Homo-oligomer: A and B are copies of this chain.
Amino acid sequence: MSTNKKSSTLSEIAKIAEVSVMTASRALNNQPGVSEEKRAEILRIAEDMGYVANRIAQRLSGGKSRVIGVIAQLHTLYTSDLVLGIGSALRSSKYEMLVYSLSDTDSQPPQAIVSLLRQFVDGIIVILPFQSDYLVSLSDADLPIVTIDEGPHNNFPKIVADNYQGARLAIQHLANLGHRRIGFISGNNQLASARDREQAFRDMQAQLGLDTDPELVASGNFLQQGGFNAAKELLRLSDRPTAIFAANDISAVGAMAAIRDAGLNVPEDISLVGFDDVAVASQIYPTLTTVKQPSAQMARAAVNTIVAMIAGIEPASSIIVLPTELVLRASTRPLGEVVAMPNSKRPRHIKNRISPAG
């Protein structure tokens, strides 16, 4: 067993091995210029003393820190899923992850964090980049940046889910159930994901011949309260929708509360579909039909991209789109159906395939 009470330095193990620090450095970094015997001995001694290289010093002397910075708002499950995914994708690499958690009111980190990251990390993954001005200065400083989802003026390589197709699947599903009057609760339109979902809604309205009153679009903000308020608006309409598609699950949860608050039931009176498939979607009652984002794959793609960029390889494409799929649960039902429907024990999954717009 190695003891590492006092974290030994390179010069210490060099002294014990009776070599120069440079030889020790070369041996430990697997670089040429050391005989095999010396290398083995140095490695043995280092192991013995529990030596771990000081990454602060390595970084200062011009090297890499092998740390990836992640900037995220941690108070939503969806974001946490991605962070966890990044962590596990990174586990098989030689990089570590440190996360800066944006508060729910901030759209960008304080200047101190920005310069700290610039000084310390080798690359940055930004989840839901509501704002990206501050990222430009980092990028100018040769720091590789990858974003998950797309914010305004986002010229960095980005990983996104196929929000447009996912939303189409959701609307198609509601239409298949006979719904013609479908309300939409929008998200935060700073994000391309929100815009894409809304665009899909509008396109499908036209394509499928759904009701198109402008009042059928209520603006949310991806938060529960926003979903609640938006649903309230939709329910106040004289001719109220028979189904609602919320731009994300949290909005849908808010909408569900609003619907219940109005004395109505999901799905008996109103069908409801969300987006993301966060944990709460399968935990609430009724369980929520939603569009699943491939967060694990997105995280992996982000990691692969940033690692490649750190290695100096420019990514082949500046955007990677991953497929979404519809997850059917208990919050949707055919229009007008009155027969009691047992809780479906296991949700069915529908792959992201839809006939092209004709």
Contact B99 A98 (CB under 8 A): yes
- Residues in B whose Cβ lies below 8 Å from that of A54: 60, 119
Known contacts A100-B99, A118-B7, A284-B283, A74 near B67 by CB under 8 Å: no
Known contacts A98-B99, A284-B285, A84 near B80 by CB under 8 Å: no
Task: For the complex formed, measure the closest distance between the CB of A77 and the CB atoms of chain B, giving whole angstroms.
Answer: 7
Known contacts A80-B80, A283-B224, A283-B284, A87 near B99 by CB under 8 Å: no
Q: A96-153: which residues lie under 8 A (CB-CB) from chain B?
A: 96-101, 103-104, 110-113, 115-116, 118-120, 137, 140-141
Contact of A321 with B by CB under 8 A? no
Contact A343 B260 (CB under 8 A): yes
Q: Annotate A322-351 by CB proximity to B: 1 below 8 A, 0 otherwise.
A: 000000000000000000000100000000
Q: How many residues of A contact B (CB 8 A)?
A: 54
Query: In the complex the two chains form, what is the Cα distance from A88 to B110 in whole Å?
Result: 12
Query: In the complex the two chains form, what is the Cα distance from A131 to B230 in whole Å?
Result: 44
Query: In the complex the two chains form, what is the Cα distance from A253 to B284 in whole Å?
Result: 8
- Which residue of the partner chain B has the closest CB to A117? B98
Q: Annotate A56-98 by CB proximity to B: 1 below 8 A, 0 otherwise.
A: 1101100000010000001101001101100110010000111
Contact A60 B52 (CB under 8 A): no
Known contacts A97-B100, A137-B4, A280-B280, A119 near B87 by CB under 8 Å: no
Contact B88 A103 (CB under 8 A): yes
Contact A75 B84 (CB under 8 A): yes
- Residues in B whose Cβ lies below 8 Å from that of A101: 83-84, 87, 97, 99
Interface centre among A75, A83, A119 (most CB of B within 10 A): A119
Query: In the complex the two chains form, what is the Cα distance from A87 to B131 in whole Å?
Result: 19
Contact of A55 with B by CB under 8 A? yes
Q: Annotate A4-20 by CB proximity to B: 1 below 8 A, 0 otherwise.
A: 11110000000000000
Contact of A306 with B by CB under 8 A? no
- Which residue of the partner chain B has the closest CB to A88? B103
Contact A87 B113 (CB under 8 A): no
Query: In the complex the two chains form, what is the Cα distance from A137 to B115 in whole Å?
Result: 30
Task: For the complex formed, measure the closest distance between the CB of A285 and the CB atoms of chain B, giving whole angstroms.
Answer: 5
- Residues in B whose Cβ lies below 8 Å from that of A284: 280, 283-285
Contact of A257 with B by CB under 8 A? yes
Contact of A159 with B by CB under 8 A? no
Query: In the complex the two chains form, what is the Cα distance from A253 to B285 in whole Å?
Result: 10
- Residues in B whose Cβ lies below 8 Å from that of A283: 224, 253, 257, 280, 284
Task: Jot down 28 A-B pairs with beta carbons below 8 A, ordered by A.
Answer: A6-B141, A7-B115, A7-B119, A52-B111, A52-B112, A54-B119, A56-B56, A56-B60, A67-B116, A74-B74, A74-B80, A74-B83, A74-B84, A75-B80, A84-B101, A84-B103, A96-B100, A96-B110, A98-B98, A98-B99, A98-B100, A99-B99, A224-B279, A253-B283, A257-B283, A280-B283, A280-B284, A283-B284
3 nearest interchain CB pairs?
Answer: A99-B99, A98-B98, A52-B115
